[in-house]
Structure 1
Amino acid sequence: MRILSVHNRYQIRGGEDESRQAEENLLREKGHTVEVYEEHNDRIAQMNSLNVASRTVWSQESHDIVKQRLRKETHDIIHVQNFFPLISPSIYYAASSEGVPVVQTLRNYRLLCPNALFFRDGQVCEDCLGKFLPIPGIVHSCYRENRAATTAVASMITVHRALGTWMKMVDVYIALTEFARQKFISAGFPPEKIVVKPNFIHPDPGVGTGNGGYALFVGRLSVEKGLDTLLTAWEKLGGKISLKIVGDGPLADKVKQAVTELPGVEWLGRKPMSEVHYLMGEAKFLIFPSKWYETFGRVAVEAFAKGTPAIAANIGAIAEVVDSGRTGLHFQPGDAKDLASKVEWALTNPQKILQMRQEARKEFETKYTAETNYLRLMEIYRKVKIKK
């Protein structure tokens, strides 16, 4: 099978990129031909704002590049991982003109919300959900806190709603969880076109010991990731267990301050994935305090692969990924007191945590291995090809 994988890369490589690259590598390992069409946001610095805005709605350049590639070689599938902002939905039309089916992975909520997060002013916001024109997003300058840039994103969403692009030009959407799938359905996307296939971890990092005696946070140091909840909870815990924080982001200064003020809090900055996996395997548990509707929760699944349970906010997709009482615990999102109480419970119930370690690893082996993911992806590709 020959697949054209399409994605727009950002300056900072994150979980979205990790998941996309893992999928491409897996397909190649299985003998498929995977070609890549990639744009990088570095190009934006060479463009004026009007050019960027127009490309966000319709990039004729990307349309022509994809069409030329599809004409040059016969492709079975075009798999769009991310078209925003430089590639645009124009590529769907290029694929349609060449009779190639389109699969789109929904890695965020960009088609429903200008900032793609359903998150504003420190809390969940669904003001634009289901609206033909996402005016609230424009009013609040939700994309990059810039009204002009938000207007460009809102225009892209609205123009392609009017054209019927989202309904007609994509054969199958892949949501990473049932929670994310339901959000798109509630916005009017056809249920029969949205399937669920989670991300996966490959290669298997193997099980850790859990004997490190610390809790672990891995992720972007930002408000939506719940850093304020995390640090307040550790203040309440008063040094009962140490906390290692891996990552970087806009709240780095707040984390630096916490290191000097709170006993047992350590900031490690960015780390290579091999080191992150080691830290996960030795941690007693992972803390996942997000305040927004995560579309998946890759960090929690990486922890499961190491046999480490997660204490996670009961919100969005992560509440679906973590089975409270079996592979971890839930706490109320944004509630530092509840998070602290769940950590205290975990510290006083070591046998339960040991059982959770076994269940977390079992969950990984059942749902999140490369082989399971490959079989599901092939099932999706074959159905799309038959339909076309």
Structure 2
Amino acid sequence: MNTQLNVLNVSQNHFVRGGSDRYFLSLGELLSQQGNLVVPFCAKSDRDQPSEWATHFPPAADFESPSVMDVVKFHYSAAAKNNLQKLVSGKRFDIAHLHIYYGKLTSSILPVLKNAGIPVVQTAHDYKLICPVYTCDRGGVPCEACHGKDYWRAVVNKCNRGSYLRSAISMSESYVSRWLGSVDAIDRFIAVSQFSATRMSENGIDPRRISVVPNFIDIKQFTPHTESGRYFVYFGRIERVKGILTLIKAFMKMPDIPLVVIGEGALLPEVQALAAESHNIRFAGFKNGAELYSMVAQSVASILPAEWYENCPLSVLESFALGRPVIGTRMGGIPELISQGEDGYLVEPGDADALCATVRTVWEQRGKPDMRQAARRKAEQEFSADTHYQRIRDVYDSLRGA
């Protein structure tokens, strides 16, 4: 039986804005359910979920209308450092688990944890460790030019929204963060895909300091449907790097096969205009929770046509849990999740014709239950909460000498 631990769970948001926030909160619940004491440490926000530890949350920089002082706080937060110092001085912690802490909390918190002698784990939800803008994407093309240390290249290439100023801020924050210990102060990095682990090690991080632990879902929240489905579904952000233009172009060539697009994002007006004359493509807007899962469960399959380095997308795990196969691209960590011809298919990114051919194959075979059953089985066996807890606990214990 595992010893109960006091875990400091650190992330910038105590509310759900994106997938990393969802994981951070879900992990906290999972650790608590297993008898551990979990203390969150996040930046203060009006959107925060209730927490008895909220009095320790520091104010964060204003990213909506930033002042010069906010730019300074983006690099170094004295409030985060001081509040964390008070928290760890009054409470013993066995482990600190970091998520996306930079930006709002900043690397100012790292020396506090090291001086307190707390083993530090970080889940790498994005590519911040090797890319100043976190995405390894430049103009829609994968890029690793900075090599985890040559951050000045982001300015030369205007990687942050095509702006020299924004890119310069990203560059300087990356140098300051590295100086404060964003690599050296972390005892173990958790990569959520082998792809991410390889990228990290190839960009200077010792592979012995990296453990691969995929994301997880609470399988009990998902009821698989046995029906064959009535349409294909995409759910996620409507952005160019997600391959949404390729997806729309593919379905414009298949007017007899319906597609439902769920989500919102900067590219939505453009793709709506592109698909304006197509009667088989429907935009459903943003959905979440039971409404989202019901719509996904009624699909033939979900499609993730990503054209950037997806890491371990929850949309694939959620589709599997609902008994829906997935058509994904050979990008990032996606191929690690999908077994070709068993619980989904893989196609080359940006290839609308290949996507068309695969969609039609799945559509014509939609009456067969094999792929739906295989998808659900994989979710139960590889991505359940119980499996995830043991993997995470193994990482914790390896640092504690347990």
TM-score between both structures, scaled by the size of structure 2? 0.90
Residue 134 of structure 1, CA deviation: 1.7
Partner of 1:327: 343
CA distance in 1, matches of 2:36, 2:14: 26
1:51 has 2:51 as partner: no
Contact 2:320/2:375, CA 8 A, preserved across alignment = yes
1:251 has 2:267 as partner: yes
1:359 has 2:374 as partner: yes
Partner of 2:174: 157
CA distance in 1, matches of 2:269, 2:249: 15
Structure with greater helix percent: 1
CA distance in 2, matches of 1:105, 1:343: 34
1:138 has 2:155 as partner: yes
1:213 has 2:230 as partner: yes
Out of 19, 23, 34, the position equivalent to 1:30 is: 34
Deviations 1:146-181 (A, max 9, x none): 322322222232244456x24431111111011111
Note the 1:67-146 alignment, pairs <5 A: 67-130=85-148, 132-146=149-163
Contact 1:311/1:328, CA 8 A, preserved across alignment = yes
Change in 2 beyond 3 A, CA 1:124/1:348:
same
CA distance in 1, matches of 2:324, 2:340: 13
Number of aligned residues: 383
CA distance in 1, matches of 2:243, 2:40: 34
Partner of 1:294: 310
CA distance in 1, matches of 2:14, 2:61: 10
Residue 121 of structure 1, CA deviation: 1.3
2:42 match: secondary structure: strand
Contact 2:16/2:22, CA 8 A, preserved across alignment = no
Contact 1:291/1:333, CA 8 A, preserved across alignment = yes
2:43 match: secondary structure: strand
Residue 13 of structure 1, CA deviation: 1.1
Contact 2:101/2:107, CA 8 A, preserved across alignment = yes
1:369 has 2:384 as partner: yes
Contact 2:61/2:73, CA 8 A, preserved across alignment = no
Matched AA of 1:106 = A
Matched AA of 1:50 = V
Partner of 1:2: 6
Residue 11 of structure 1, CA deviation: 9.3
Residue 257 of structure 1, CA deviation: 2.4
Deviations 1:112-140 (A, max 9, x none): 1122111121222222234x222221122
How well do the aligned residues superpose, as a CA RMSD in angstroms? 2.1
Residue 207 of structure 1, CA deviation: 0.8
Change in 2 beyond 3 A, CA 1:333/1:75:
same
Out of 190, 194, 204, the position equivalent to 1:178 is: 194
Residue 258 of structure 1, CA deviation: 4.4
Mind listing any 5+ residue stretches in structure 2 that lack a counterpart?
A: 46-59
Contact 1:56/1:153, CA 8 A, preserved across alignment = no
1:19 has 2:35 as partner: no
CA distance in 2, matches of 1:176, 1:297: 9
Contact 1:314/1:332, CA 8 A, preserved across alignment = yes
Matched AA of 1:71 = S
Residue 232 of structure 1, CA deviation: 0.4
Partner of 1:62: 80
1:63 match: secondary structure: helix
CA distance in 2, matches of 1:152, 1:84: 13
2:290 match: secondary structure: helix
Contact 2:300/2:366, CA 8 A, preserved across alignment = no
Mind listing any 5+ residue stretches in structure 1 that lack a counterpart?
A: none
Residue 305 of structure 1, CA deviation: 0.3
Out of 358, 363, 387, the position equivalent to 1:347 is: 363
Change in 2 beyond 3 A, CA 1:280/1:103:
same
1:261 match: secondary structure: coil
Identity between Structure 1 and Structure 2 (%):
28
CA distance in 2, matches of 1:167, 1:140: 24
CA distance in 1, matches of 2:332, 2:141: 13
Partner of 1:234: 251
CA distance in 1, matches of 2:277, 2:147: 41
Residue 12 of structure 1, CA deviation: 7.2
Partner of 2:290: 274
Matched AA of 2:250 = A
Residue 56 of structure 1, CA deviation: 3.2
Contact 1:115/1:143, CA 8 A, preserved across alignment = yes
CA distance in 2, matches of 1:229, 1:40: 39
1:87 match: secondary structure: coil
Change in 2 beyond 3 A, CA 1:277/1:47:
closer
2:80 match: secondary structure: helix
Partner of 2:399: 384
Residue 55 of structure 1, CA deviation: 2.8
